[in-house]
Structure 1
Amino acid sequence: MGLRAHRAISWIGRAETCGDDDDARFIFLWIAFNAAYADEREFQTVAPGERAAFVDFFGKLVALDGGRRIYNALWQRFSGPVRMLMENRYVFNPFWQHHNGIDGFADWEDRFRASARSFAQAFQVGDSARVLSFVFDRLYVLRNQLVHGGSTWNSGVNRAQVRDGAAILAFLLPVFVDLMMDNPGKDWGKPFYPVVE
């Protein structure tokens, strides 16, 4: 846990020096997220998928979050970046599946509305793990756009999603790391690429 927290904090610190460069800030914050949640065991076997690992990580965090810091952080930001992200079709994977001509996604708009309803229901009942799953599902699409070259650095197009994505990560990651540090005895998994002499 110490190595995970140390690495995550270092990348959060780097992200804080990015000023107005939301692209770089988002990428550095995503690296911090990876440092916090990625488990080496996932890379040694057939992985269940990165998003499945998110759900496991969120479940651990929420179970340990007696003070509901995650829920409160999301609630305080619900009318801002989280809401805007959830309303943005450009970070909704089925939209891109349809746009790229993949069969079975002509109903992306229905899926988008259903996702918004499910998100609102999860938020209303205080299901923080499920809320995080929805939010990070959108952030994962944004991460793919940036990391895989699907966007232009500092572009004038779709800047709100990058700005909002970076803002969401910036307020959630310190809460995640804080919860981890408050629970050092919890099995957070073995860090990928441990320090080896």
Structure 2
Amino acid sequence: MGLRVHRSISWIGRAEAALDDHDARFLYLWIAFNAAYADERELQGIAAGERASFTGYFSRLVGLDTDHRIYHAVWESFSGPIRMLMKNRYIFNPFWQHHNGIDGFEDWEERFRSSARSFRHCLQRRDSARILSFVFDRLYVLRNQLVHGGSTWNSSVNRDQVRDGAAILGFLMPVFVDVMMDNPHEDWGRPFYPVVE
């Protein structure tokens, strides 16, 4: 847990030095997220899928967050930006699958509406872990756009989701790390690339 937290904090610190560069800040914060949550056991074996990993991690964090910091972030600090992310088709994976001509995604609009209904249901139930899973699903598409060259640095197109994504990650990552540090005896999994001498 110490190595995982140390790495995550180092990237959070780097992101804080990039406040004026939303693209870089988002990427640094995503690295911090990977350092905090990624479990080598899942990636070395048969992977459960990225979203399944997110959901398990978020459920643990929310369950251990006795001060309800995550809940307050979701419901008070970022409810507007989160809702805007969920309404944005440009960070919805089936939209891009269809747009890129991949069979089986002709119904992306229905999937988008279904996702919105499921999200609203989670809002009504105040299910913070599932809401985080939905949000990070969208942020993962944004991450892919940036990392895989599907976006222009500092472009005037689609800036809102990069800015809001960076702000959401910038608030949540220190909270996630704090919850982990408050629970050092939990099994947070083996970090990727441990220090080897």
Residue 123 (str. 1) matches residue 108 (str. 2): no
Residue 24 (str. 1) matches residue 24 (str. 2): yes
Provide the residue aligned with 2:74 in structure 1.
74
State how 1:40-55 maps to structure 2 within 5 Å.
40-55=40-55
d(CA) in 1 for partners of 2:177, 2:2 = 10
| Alignment-mate amino acid for residue 168 of structure 1 | I
**Cα shift at 1:190:** 0.7
Question: Structure 1 runs of 4+ off > 6 angstroms?
Answer: none
**Cα shift at 1:104:** 1.9
What is the percent sequence identity of the aligned residues? 76
Give the TM-score normalised by structure 2: 0.96
Provide the residue aligned with 2:182 in structure 1.
182
**Cα shift at 1:19:** 2.5
Provide the residue aligned with 2:38 in structure 1.
38
Structure 2: any 5+ residue segments left out of the alignment? none
**Cα shift at 1:38:** 0.8
**Cα shift at 1:78:** 4.2
**Cα shift at 1:79:** 4.0
d(CA) in 1 for partners of 2:92, 2:196 = 39
**Cα shift at 1:111:** 1.4
State how 1:1-197 maps to structure 2 within 5 Å.
1-197=1-197
| Alignment-mate amino acid for residue 84 of structure 2 | M
**Cα shift at 1:145:** 0.4
**Cα shift at 1:109:** 1.5
Deviations 1:37-84 (A, max 9, x none): 011212322222222211111111111122322111111134421111
Give the TM-score normalised by structure 1: 0.96
Deviations 1:3-34 (A, max 9, x none): 11111111001001012110000000000000
| Alignment-mate amino acid for residue 60 of structure 2 | K
| Alignment-mate amino acid for residue 139 of structure 2 | L
Q: Give the paired residue count.
A: 197
d(CA) in 2 for partners of 1:13, 1:52 = 28
Instruction: Give RMSD over aligned pairs.
Output: 1.2
d(CA) in 1 for partners of 2:179, 2:21 = 28
Mean CA deviation greater in 20-29 or 53-62 = 53-62
d(CA) in 2 for partners of 1:45, 1:79 = 36
| Alignment-mate amino acid for residue 172 of structure 1 | L
| Alignment-mate amino acid for residue 18 of structure 2 | C
d(CA) in 2 for partners of 1:154, 1:116 = 29
d(CA) in 1 for partners of 2:128, 2:74 = 8
d(CA) in 2 for partners of 1:188, 1:23 = 28
Q: Say if 2:40 and 2:190, in contact at 8 Å, map to a contact too.
A: yes
| Alignment-mate amino acid for residue 105 of structure 1 | F
User: Equivalent residue of 1:5, what SS?
Assistant: helix
